[in-house]
Amino acid sequence: MAFELPPSSAKRLDDLYKRLQDDVERFVGYPCTAEIDYRELFRFLEFPINNVGDPYKDGTLKLHTHDFEREVIDWFGRLLQAPENSFWGYVTNGGTEGNLYGLYLARELFPSGMTYYSEDTHYSVAKNLRVLNMQNIMINSQPSGELDYEDLRETIKINRHIPPIIFANIGTTMREGIDRIDRIREILDELAIPGFYIHCDAALAGMTLPFIDGAPEFDFSERVDSISISGHKFIGSPIPCGLVLADRNNVQRIARSIEYVGTLDTTITGSRNAFSPLILWYAIQRWGYDGFKERVASCLENAEYAVKKFLENGVEAWKNPHAITVVFPRPSDEIIERWQIAVQEEIGHLLVMPHVTRELIDEFVADYLNHPDTSSSAADS
Protein backbone atom coordinates (compact mmCIF):
# COMPACT_ATOMS: atom_id res chain seq x y z
CA MET A 1 0.00 0.00 0.00
CA ALA A 2 1.43 3.37 -1.02
CA PHE A 3 2.14 5.83 1.74
CA GLU A 4 0.29 9.13 1.62
CA LEU A 5 1.51 12.22 3.38
CA PRO A 6 -0.86 14.05 5.70
CA PRO A 7 -2.45 17.01 3.86
CA SER A 8 -0.42 19.58 5.82
CA SER A 9 2.87 17.85 4.93
CA ALA A 10 1.86 17.48 1.29
CA LYS A 11 1.11 21.21 1.21
CA ARG A 12 4.59 21.96 2.55
CA LEU A 13 6.12 20.08 -0.36
CA ASP A 14 3.82 21.84 -2.82
CA ASP A 15 4.78 25.21 -1.34
CA LEU A 16 8.47 24.36 -1.58
CA TYR A 17 8.08 23.33 -5.22
CA LYS A 18 6.30 26.59 -6.02
CA ARG A 19 8.98 28.65 -4.28
CA LEU A 20 11.75 26.91 -6.18
CA GLN A 21 9.86 27.40 -9.45
CA ASP A 22 9.66 31.12 -8.74
CA ASP A 23 13.26 31.53 -7.56
CA VAL A 24 14.84 29.67 -10.49
CA GLU A 25 13.36 32.29 -12.85
CA ARG A 26 15.80 34.87 -11.43
CA PHE A 27 18.84 32.70 -10.82
CA VAL A 28 21.80 34.57 -12.35
CA GLY A 29 24.36 35.18 -9.62
CA TYR A 30 25.84 31.72 -9.12
CA PRO A 31 27.65 29.34 -11.52
CA CYS A 32 25.00 26.63 -11.78
CA THR A 33 23.11 25.70 -14.93
CA ALA A 34 19.36 25.68 -14.29
CA GLU A 35 18.49 24.23 -17.70
CA ILE A 36 18.42 20.54 -16.76
CA ASP A 37 16.20 17.53 -17.47
CA TYR A 38 17.14 14.09 -16.16
CA ARG A 39 13.69 12.52 -15.95
CA GLU A 40 14.89 9.45 -17.84
CA LEU A 41 17.11 8.63 -14.86
CA PHE A 42 14.45 8.89 -12.15
CA ARG A 43 13.75 5.12 -12.22
CA PHE A 44 17.22 4.44 -10.82
CA LEU A 45 16.21 6.13 -7.58
CA GLU A 46 14.32 2.92 -6.76
CA PHE A 47 17.60 1.22 -5.84
CA PRO A 48 20.09 1.73 -2.97
CA ILE A 49 22.99 2.19 -5.38
CA ASN A 50 26.39 2.96 -3.88
CA ASN A 51 29.73 3.50 -5.64
CA VAL A 52 31.84 2.60 -2.62
CA GLY A 53 35.54 2.20 -3.35
CA ASP A 54 37.67 2.58 -6.44
CA PRO A 55 35.67 3.06 -9.67
CA TYR A 56 38.21 0.95 -11.58
CA LYS A 57 37.84 -2.10 -9.33
CA ASP A 58 34.36 -3.52 -8.75
CA GLY A 59 33.90 -5.03 -5.30
CA THR A 60 31.40 -7.39 -3.73
CA LEU A 61 28.65 -4.74 -3.60
CA LYS A 62 26.87 -5.14 -6.96
CA LEU A 63 24.43 -2.20 -6.67
CA HIS A 64 26.74 0.35 -8.27
CA THR A 65 27.33 2.42 -11.43
CA HIS A 66 31.10 2.06 -11.63
CA ASP A 67 30.99 1.21 -15.33
CA PHE A 68 29.21 4.50 -16.10
CA GLU A 69 31.58 6.36 -13.77
CA ARG A 70 34.57 4.98 -15.67
CA GLU A 71 33.10 6.18 -18.97
CA VAL A 72 32.66 9.68 -17.52
CA ILE A 73 36.25 9.77 -16.23
CA ASP A 74 37.62 8.46 -19.52
CA TRP A 75 35.69 11.14 -21.46
CA PHE A 76 37.14 13.88 -19.30
CA GLY A 77 40.57 12.29 -19.57
CA ARG A 78 40.43 12.69 -23.33
CA LEU A 79 39.06 16.22 -23.03
CA LEU A 80 41.94 17.19 -20.72
CA GLN A 81 44.64 15.38 -22.74
CA ALA A 82 45.55 12.96 -19.99
CA PRO A 83 48.07 10.32 -21.13
CA GLU A 84 46.22 7.06 -21.81
CA ASN A 85 46.44 4.46 -19.01
CA SER A 86 48.41 6.81 -16.75
CA PHE A 87 45.59 8.81 -15.15
CA TRP A 88 42.88 8.01 -12.63
CA GLY A 89 39.78 9.76 -11.32
CA TYR A 90 36.41 9.52 -9.67
CA VAL A 91 33.11 11.37 -9.42
CA THR A 92 33.05 13.56 -6.31
CA ASN A 93 30.43 15.42 -4.30
CA GLY A 94 31.68 18.70 -5.78
CA GLY A 95 34.63 21.01 -6.22
CA THR A 96 35.59 21.17 -2.55
CA GLU A 97 36.09 17.40 -2.39
CA GLY A 98 38.01 17.42 -5.67
CA ASN A 99 40.34 20.12 -4.36
CA LEU A 100 40.73 18.28 -1.07
CA TYR A 101 41.75 15.17 -2.98
CA GLY A 102 44.35 17.01 -5.06
CA LEU A 103 45.85 18.58 -1.94
CA TYR A 104 45.76 15.22 -0.15
CA LEU A 105 47.82 13.61 -2.92
CA ALA A 106 50.22 16.56 -2.85
CA ARG A 107 50.70 16.22 0.91
CA GLU A 108 51.37 12.49 0.63
CA LEU A 109 53.94 13.17 -2.10
CA PHE A 110 55.52 16.14 -0.26
CA PRO A 111 54.71 15.87 3.49
CA SER A 112 56.79 18.96 4.26
CA GLY A 113 55.64 20.91 1.20
CA MET A 114 54.43 24.53 1.16
CA THR A 115 51.11 25.27 -0.54
CA TYR A 116 50.77 28.53 -2.49
CA TYR A 117 47.35 29.90 -3.40
CA SER A 118 46.07 33.34 -4.34
CA GLU A 119 43.87 35.65 -2.30
CA ASP A 120 41.07 35.11 -4.87
CA THR A 121 40.99 31.36 -4.21
CA HIS A 122 37.65 29.80 -3.18
CA TYR A 123 36.98 30.07 0.55
CA SER A 124 36.88 26.27 1.00
CA VAL A 125 40.57 25.85 0.15
CA ALA A 126 41.78 27.46 3.38
CA LYS A 127 39.51 25.01 5.20
CA ASN A 128 40.94 22.07 3.23
CA LEU A 129 44.46 23.17 4.15
CA ARG A 130 43.49 23.28 7.84
CA VAL A 131 41.92 19.81 7.62
CA LEU A 132 45.10 18.43 6.02
CA ASN A 133 47.38 20.46 8.36
CA MET A 134 49.43 21.73 5.40
CA GLN A 135 51.83 24.66 5.47
CA ASN A 136 50.56 27.43 3.23
CA ILE A 137 51.17 31.00 2.06
CA MET A 138 48.60 33.25 0.40
CA ILE A 139 49.84 35.04 -2.72
CA ASN A 140 48.60 38.41 -3.98
CA SER A 141 46.18 38.59 -6.90
CA GLN A 142 46.03 40.95 -9.86
CA PRO A 143 42.90 43.13 -10.32
CA SER A 144 41.60 40.53 -12.82
CA GLY A 145 41.65 37.87 -10.11
CA GLU A 146 44.66 36.17 -11.69
CA LEU A 147 47.68 35.22 -9.60
CA ASP A 148 50.43 37.81 -9.08
CA TYR A 149 53.36 35.93 -10.62
CA GLU A 150 56.05 38.24 -9.30
CA ASP A 151 54.80 37.72 -5.74
CA LEU A 152 54.73 33.96 -6.36
CA ARG A 153 58.28 33.99 -7.73
CA GLU A 154 59.73 35.95 -4.82
CA THR A 155 57.87 33.93 -2.21
CA ILE A 156 58.97 30.58 -3.64
CA LYS A 157 62.50 31.95 -3.95
CA ILE A 158 62.58 32.74 -0.23
CA ASN A 159 61.29 29.23 0.57
CA ARG A 160 63.03 27.34 -2.23
CA HIS A 161 64.25 24.68 0.21
CA ILE A 162 60.62 23.61 0.72
CA PRO A 163 58.86 21.67 -2.10
CA PRO A 164 56.16 23.96 -3.55
CA ILE A 165 52.56 22.81 -3.94
CA ILE A 166 50.80 25.16 -6.35
CA PHE A 167 47.04 25.53 -6.05
CA ALA A 168 46.10 27.13 -9.38
CA ASN A 169 42.73 28.74 -10.04
CA ILE A 170 41.36 28.02 -13.49
CA GLY A 171 38.62 30.62 -13.08
CA THR A 172 38.40 32.39 -9.71
CA THR A 173 35.11 32.60 -7.84
CA MET A 174 34.21 36.26 -8.32
CA ARG A 175 36.10 37.40 -11.44
CA GLU A 176 36.88 34.14 -13.25
CA GLY A 177 40.55 35.01 -13.37
CA ILE A 178 42.78 32.27 -14.77
CA ASP A 179 46.17 31.40 -13.28
CA ARG A 180 48.45 30.64 -16.21
CA ILE A 181 50.09 27.25 -15.85
CA ASP A 182 52.78 28.15 -18.40
CA ARG A 183 53.78 31.21 -16.32
CA ILE A 184 53.86 29.12 -13.14
CA ARG A 185 56.05 26.47 -14.74
CA GLU A 186 58.41 29.16 -16.06
CA ILE A 187 58.92 30.34 -12.47
CA LEU A 188 59.56 26.81 -11.22
CA ASP A 189 62.02 26.17 -14.06
CA GLU A 190 63.74 29.53 -13.54
CA LEU A 191 64.28 28.75 -9.85
CA ALA A 192 65.40 25.19 -10.71
CA ILE A 193 62.87 23.64 -8.32
CA PRO A 194 63.46 19.87 -8.45
CA GLY A 195 60.17 18.63 -7.03
CA PHE A 196 56.72 20.25 -6.99
CA TYR A 197 53.00 19.56 -7.36
CA ILE A 198 50.42 21.53 -9.35
CA HIS A 199 46.70 21.15 -8.71
CA CYS A 200 44.12 22.97 -10.85
CA ASP A 201 40.77 24.09 -9.47
CA ALA A 202 38.79 24.21 -12.73
CA ALA A 203 35.36 24.11 -11.11
CA LEU A 204 33.63 26.25 -13.76
CA ALA A 205 36.17 26.97 -16.50
CA GLY A 206 37.15 23.32 -16.76
CA MET A 207 34.02 22.90 -18.87
CA THR A 208 34.42 26.09 -20.92
CA LEU A 209 38.12 26.64 -21.73
CA PRO A 210 38.63 23.27 -23.52
CA PHE A 211 35.96 24.35 -26.01
CA ILE A 212 37.37 27.85 -26.70
CA ASP A 213 39.97 28.29 -29.43
CA GLY A 214 43.08 30.06 -28.14
CA ALA A 215 42.13 29.79 -24.46
CA PRO A 216 44.89 29.32 -21.84
CA GLU A 217 45.82 25.66 -21.43
CA PHE A 218 45.66 24.05 -18.00
CA ASP A 219 45.28 20.36 -18.82
CA PHE A 220 47.65 17.40 -18.53
CA SER A 221 49.56 18.51 -21.63
CA GLU A 222 50.90 21.26 -19.32
CA ARG A 223 52.13 18.54 -16.94
CA VAL A 224 49.81 19.35 -14.05
CA ASP A 225 49.30 16.66 -11.40
CA SER A 226 45.56 16.86 -10.71
CA ILE A 227 42.44 18.71 -11.87
CA SER A 228 39.06 19.20 -10.20
CA ILE A 229 35.90 20.13 -12.15
CA SER A 230 32.34 20.68 -10.90
CA GLY A 231 29.44 18.83 -12.51
CA HIS A 232 26.58 20.99 -11.27
CA LYS A 233 28.10 24.19 -12.66
CA PHE A 234 28.33 24.39 -16.46
CA ILE A 235 27.13 20.85 -17.17
CA GLY A 236 24.15 21.18 -14.84
CA SER A 237 22.87 18.76 -12.20
CA PRO A 238 20.12 18.73 -9.56
CA ILE A 239 22.67 17.20 -7.19
CA PRO A 240 26.01 18.89 -6.45
CA CYS A 241 28.76 16.76 -7.96
CA GLY A 242 32.07 16.91 -9.77
CA LEU A 243 35.11 14.88 -10.64
CA VAL A 244 38.81 14.82 -9.98
CA LEU A 245 41.53 13.49 -12.28
CA ALA A 246 45.06 12.69 -11.11
CA ASP A 247 48.27 10.92 -12.04
CA ARG A 248 47.69 7.19 -11.45
CA ASN A 249 51.14 6.71 -9.91
CA ASN A 250 50.40 9.30 -7.22
CA VAL A 251 47.04 7.68 -6.45
CA GLN A 252 48.66 4.27 -6.00
CA ARG A 253 50.69 5.73 -3.14
CA ILE A 254 47.55 6.13 -1.02
CA ALA A 255 45.58 3.04 -2.18
CA ARG A 256 44.59 0.51 0.48
CA SER A 257 42.88 -2.85 -0.07
CA ILE A 258 39.65 -3.21 1.95
CA GLU A 259 38.39 -6.79 2.39
CA TYR A 260 34.99 -5.65 3.71
CA VAL A 261 33.92 -4.25 0.31
CA GLY A 262 36.35 -6.25 -1.83
CA THR A 263 37.92 -3.23 -3.49
CA LEU A 264 40.52 -0.49 -3.04
CA ASP A 265 40.10 2.57 -0.84
CA THR A 266 41.40 5.35 -3.07
CA THR A 267 38.79 8.09 -2.60
CA ILE A 268 38.04 10.62 0.15
CA THR A 269 34.65 9.23 1.16
CA GLY A 270 33.67 5.60 1.71
CA SER A 271 30.14 5.26 0.40
CA ARG A 272 29.78 7.45 -2.69
CA ASN A 273 26.84 8.81 -4.66
CA ALA A 274 26.15 6.37 -7.52
CA PHE A 275 23.46 8.56 -9.10
CA SER A 276 25.75 11.49 -10.00
CA PRO A 277 27.81 9.42 -12.48
CA LEU A 278 24.58 8.66 -14.32
CA ILE A 279 23.78 12.38 -14.50
CA LEU A 280 27.19 13.25 -15.93
CA TRP A 281 27.09 10.29 -18.32
CA TYR A 282 23.62 11.32 -19.54
CA ALA A 283 24.75 14.92 -20.11
CA ILE A 284 27.75 13.71 -22.11
CA GLN A 285 25.48 11.50 -24.23
CA ARG A 286 23.06 14.38 -24.79
CA TRP A 287 25.53 17.11 -25.68
CA GLY A 288 28.83 15.52 -26.64
CA TYR A 289 31.88 17.59 -27.52
CA ASP A 290 30.17 19.55 -30.31
CA GLY A 291 27.10 20.28 -28.22
CA PHE A 292 29.13 21.61 -25.30
CA LYS A 293 31.21 23.70 -27.69
CA GLU A 294 28.04 25.33 -29.06
CA ARG A 295 26.73 26.00 -25.54
CA VAL A 296 30.02 27.59 -24.49
CA ALA A 297 30.08 29.80 -27.60
CA SER A 298 26.50 30.92 -26.91
CA CYS A 299 27.33 31.80 -23.29
CA LEU A 300 30.41 33.78 -24.36
CA GLU A 301 28.33 35.77 -26.86
CA ASN A 302 25.67 36.46 -24.24
CA ALA A 303 28.33 37.53 -21.72
CA GLU A 304 29.68 40.04 -24.25
CA TYR A 305 26.12 41.21 -24.78
CA ALA A 306 25.66 41.71 -21.02
CA VAL A 307 28.85 43.81 -20.75
CA LYS A 308 27.73 45.94 -23.71
CA LYS A 309 24.26 46.38 -22.20
CA PHE A 310 25.72 47.59 -18.91
CA LEU A 311 28.19 49.96 -20.61
CA GLU A 312 25.46 51.46 -22.81
CA ASN A 313 23.69 52.43 -19.60
CA GLY A 314 26.72 53.94 -17.90
CA VAL A 315 27.59 50.97 -15.67
CA GLU A 316 31.29 50.05 -15.56
CA ALA A 317 30.93 46.33 -16.19
CA TRP A 318 33.71 44.08 -17.51
CA LYS A 319 34.79 40.50 -17.92
CA ASN A 320 38.04 38.63 -18.39
CA PRO A 321 38.95 37.16 -21.78
CA HIS A 322 37.38 33.70 -22.32
CA ALA A 323 35.12 34.26 -19.27
CA ILE A 324 31.34 34.03 -18.86
CA THR A 325 31.42 35.98 -15.57
CA VAL A 326 30.38 39.63 -15.89
CA VAL A 327 31.58 41.88 -13.06
CA PHE A 328 29.82 45.14 -12.12
CA PRO A 329 29.52 47.55 -9.16
CA ARG A 330 27.80 46.06 -6.13
CA PRO A 331 24.01 46.24 -6.55
CA SER A 332 21.43 47.23 -3.96
CA ASP A 333 20.37 44.76 -1.30
CA GLU A 334 17.01 44.48 -3.05
CA ILE A 335 18.69 43.33 -6.28
CA ILE A 336 21.00 40.97 -4.39
CA GLU A 337 17.98 39.34 -2.77
CA ARG A 338 15.71 39.22 -5.83
CA TRP A 339 18.31 37.97 -8.32
CA GLN A 340 20.46 35.89 -5.91
CA ILE A 341 23.61 37.87 -6.68
CA ALA A 342 26.92 36.88 -5.10
CA VAL A 343 28.84 39.94 -3.90
CA GLN A 344 32.28 40.67 -2.49
CA GLU A 345 33.03 44.10 -1.09
CA GLU A 346 32.36 46.61 -3.90
CA ILE A 347 31.48 44.19 -6.71
CA GLY A 348 28.81 41.73 -7.78
CA HIS A 349 28.71 39.39 -10.73
CA LEU A 350 26.40 37.85 -13.29
CA LEU A 351 27.10 34.27 -14.37
CA VAL A 352 26.00 33.80 -17.97
CA MET A 353 25.16 30.10 -17.81
CA PRO A 354 23.25 28.23 -20.56
CA HIS A 355 19.87 29.17 -19.06
CA VAL A 356 20.68 32.92 -18.94
CA THR A 357 19.13 34.35 -22.10
CA ARG A 358 19.49 37.85 -23.53
CA GLU A 359 15.90 38.54 -22.47
CA LEU A 360 16.83 37.64 -18.89
CA ILE A 361 19.93 39.85 -19.13
CA ASP A 362 17.79 42.77 -20.35
CA GLU A 363 15.40 42.26 -17.43
CA PHE A 364 18.23 42.10 -14.90
CA VAL A 365 20.03 45.20 -16.21
CA ALA A 366 16.78 47.20 -16.20
CA ASP A 367 16.07 46.16 -12.62
CA TYR A 368 19.66 46.95 -11.61
CA LEU A 369 19.37 50.46 -13.05
CA ASN A 370 16.04 51.06 -11.34
CA HIS A 371 17.43 50.12 -7.92
CA PRO A 372 20.80 51.83 -7.38
CA ASP A 373 22.82 50.84 -4.34
CA THR A 374 22.43 53.59 -1.75
CA SER A 375 23.57 51.59 1.27
CA SER A 376 26.18 52.96 3.62
CA SER A 377 28.37 49.90 3.07
CA ALA A 378 28.59 50.69 -0.65
CA ALA A 379 29.32 54.36 0.08
CA ASP A 380 32.11 53.41 2.47
CA SER A 381 33.79 50.92 0.12
10-37+292-370: CATH topology: Aspartate Aminotransferase, domain 1 (3.90.1150)
Residues facing residue 247 across a β-bridge: 87
CA distances to 76, 181, 199 from 143, rounded to whole Å, are: 31, 18, 22
The predicted pLDDT at position 376 comes to 43
Q: Which residues pair with 232 in a beta bridge?
A: none
Residue 211: CB partners within 8 Å, gap ≥ 6? 289, 292, 293, 296, 297
- Within this chain, domains 10-37+292-370 and 42-284 share the same CATH topology: no
Residue 379, pLDDT score: 40
Least Cα distance to 143 among 181, 187, 177, 183 occurs for: 177
- Mode of pairing for the β-strands spanning 114-118 and 164-169: parallel
- Predicted pLDDT of residue 377: 45
CATH topology of domain 42-284: Aspartate Aminotransferase; domain 2 (3.40.640)
Q: What confidence score (pLDDT) does residue 261 get?
A: 60
Confidence at residue 186, expressed as pLDDT on a 0 to 100 scale: 96
* Tens digit of pLDDT at every position of the chain (381 positions): 688 999 999 999 999 999 999 999 999 999 999 999 999 999 999 999 999 989 998 888 999 999 999 999 999 999 999 998 899 999 999 999 999 999 999 999 999 999 999 999 999 999 999 999 999 999 999 999 999 999 999 999 999 999 999 999 999 999 999 999 999 999 999 999 999 999 999 999 999 999 999 999 999 999 999 999 999 999 999 999 999 999 999 998 877 766 556 667 888 998 999 999 999 999 999 999 999 999 999 999 999 999 999 999 999 999 999 999 999 999 999 999 999 999 999 999 999 999 999 999 999 999 999 998 766 444 444
CB 360 within 8 A of CB 28: yes
Name which of 102, 25, 95 is nearest 340 in CA terms: 25
User: What's the confidence (pLDDT) of residue 260?
Assistant: 58
SS3 7: helix
In this predicted structure, what is the pLDDT of residue 84? 87
What does the pLDDT read at residue 381? 40
Query: Cα separation of 328 and 355, whole Å?
Result: 20
List Cα–Cα distances, 29 to 161, 253, 298, 305, in angstroms: 42, 40, 18, 16
Q: What residues does each domain of the chain span?
A: 10-37+292-370, 42-284
How far apart, in whole angstroms, are the C-alpha atoms of residue 147 and residue 119?
8
DSSP string for residues in 57-102: S--S--S--HHHHHHHHHHHHHHTTPPTTSEEEEEESSHHHHHHHH
pLDDT at residue 181, as a whole number: 97
